[in-house]
Amino acid sequence: MIRIGIVGGTGYTGVELLRLLSQHPQADLRAITSRKEAGMRVDQMFPSLRGHVDLAFCEPADARLEECELVFFATPNGVAMQEAAGLVAAGVRIIDLAADFRLRDPAVWERWYKVPHAAPELLGEAIYGLPEVNRASIKDARVLANPGCYPTAVQLGLIPLLEAGCVEPGHLIADAKSGVSGAGRKAEVHALLAEAADNFSAYGVPGHRHWPEIRQGLAAVAGVDVGLTFVPHLTPMIRGIHATLYARITRETDFQALFEERYRNEPFVDVLPAGAHPDTRSVRGANLCRIAVHRPQGGDTLVVLSVIDNLVKGAAGQAVQNMNIMFGLDERAGLAQIALVP
């Protein structure tokens, strides 16, 4: 059994992480921290976990995280980097679900997150946790940066094309839509029912924090810098991300076969038959990315459709997948949930 602590379990990614770990055959949940809710039983805040999580939130100072083998940070950006060094020094491995260790350059971090990085010495060893690319490195990671939700959907949709060198890396477009839960479990006007329901809008067009993360990952695969236009949208649904990706073809190949072969042995990527249109409902609650490849009118632009659940493959599910790899377990352990329909 893996002794596990969770820092910050009161948000949507936190409760999703608890849902998955409570069903995991090798997870031994020792502590869940929350300064604000210390003393409250977890199942009082989240009745869905009644009978599955028999713990109360505790103060970080009382959590004895240094006795855990693994600590998940399900916290806002900027928290994990304050505490990571001490835990790593104590021999604890870390999976951060926020952005603290995703960007390799501390100057880029500061530009997009507006504060200096508190643990730049750990950025060099932090492993970016996209299993479909970095599985070998993830095995030995002490600090694991769990990818963002948009970056997961976008990268998985474009990686086969860039690896094969059959599209123009300087002209990539990602038109992505997310459910409201992507904004987190906090009171904000734009996420109110009366604001988000029956509505559809773009945001972050001049620049979104996930843009440098996506470019960094795609450039590493392509071997050259990439040009990416990324436009996120908020949709009137709770869960899900739908990314419509555009790439200009530079070399002819069988694109359907390319994707099928690239992801043939990936347990959590499903390449659909030619002509299919994946929808977010088909992955709701599951740690799965579904992809379809199109070439409209036989033209010079390839369109890739990529869907995930932002809270599962886009956050907590991918974190558990990474935990399984780090501890030498079956990668699918605790992640056999079938998508919820309707």
Q: How many CB atoms neighbour CB 42 within 10 A? A: 26
Helix (H) / strand (E) containing 157: helix 149-164
Lookup: tokens for 181:
């839960």
E-state strands within the chain: 2-7, 27-33, 57-58, 70-73, 93-96, 127-128, 143-145, 167-178, 201-202, 228-234, 241-249, 269-271, 289-294, 301-308
Q: Would you state the torsion angle of the CA atoms of residues 100, 105, 108, 112, taken in this order, to the nearest 10 degrees?
A: -10
Lookup: tokens for 190:
């734009």
Strands 167-178 and 241-249: antiparallel
Give the residue among 194, 201, 280 at the shortest CA–CA distance from 235.
Answer: 201
Whether the CB-CB separation of 17 and 98 falls below 8 Å is answered with no
Q: What angle do CA 72, 281, 206 make, to 5 degrees?
A: 70
Whether the CB-CB separation of 6 and 18 falls below 8 Å is answered with yes
Give the residue among 257, 207, 252 at the shortest CA–CA distance from 232.
Answer: 207
CA dist., res. 217 & res. 62, Å (int): 37
Helix (H) / strand (E) containing 131: helix 131-138
Whether the CB-CB separation of 157 and 172 falls below 8 Å is answered with no
Beta bridge pairs of residue 202: 233
Q: Is 289 a catalytic residue?
A: no
Q: Which residue has the tokens 């076969």?
A: 257
Considering the candidates 68, 149, 166, 289, report the single residue annotated as catalytic: 149
- The residues carrying an active-site annotation are 149
